[in-house]
Amino acid sequence: MRWEDYSIQRQIRVKALERLLQTESKDILTLDYLLVISETEQEQYLLRQIVKSRKQQFDTLRNIYRYITSNQVQVEQEVFRKPVSYKKGLQSQREIVEQRRNSLSGLLQQVINPYVIQLLQETLHLNHYEGILLRQLERYAEKI
């Protein structure tokens, strides 16, 4: 692989990581808001698990970024908007999980470094776990 090709590939990965990290504040604030308006202890427990998982994912993505670039990531954060309803907020989070899964899978296919591959695989597992928890929360919300 020529140096120019490697440099372009690295830039693509960095931009993809930056796009994923732009949603950090909005995602955490939305999940915290849903936690506050949730009605049952089961929902609150599941939302706390999702928040914990999401924070862990963002920490890992920042570590990958730092590993690739040797710099701290600095991105413009997306703005938090209060969900119209609890159910719509859960729906939106499920869609975000699916989008993130696609982005992470794409990144995983671009990477050749074993350390970064391992971190991305762990992040994908956390993402899958979140999807399961969100589907369970949506089932609870349907009963209300």
Does the structure show a pLDDT above 60 at 6? Answer: no
Predicted pLDDT of residue 86: 95
Fold of 3-143: Ferritin (1.20.1260)
Q: What is the pLDDT of residues 125-144, one digit of tens each?
A: 999 999 999 999 999 888 76
* Token couple for 49: 């698990």
Considering the entire predicted model, what is its pTM?
A: 0.88
Q: What is the pLDDT of residues 69-86, one digit of tens each?
A: 889 999 898 899 999 999
**How many angstroms separate the CA atoms of 8 and 76, rounded?**
22
What percent of the chain is predicted at pLDDT more than 70? 91
Q: Where does the pLDDT of residue 112 fall: very low under 50, low under 70, confident under 90, or very high at 90 and above?
A: confident
> Positive or negative CA dihedral for 19, 105, 124, 93?
positive
**How many angstroms separate the CA atoms of 79 and 24, rounded?**
10
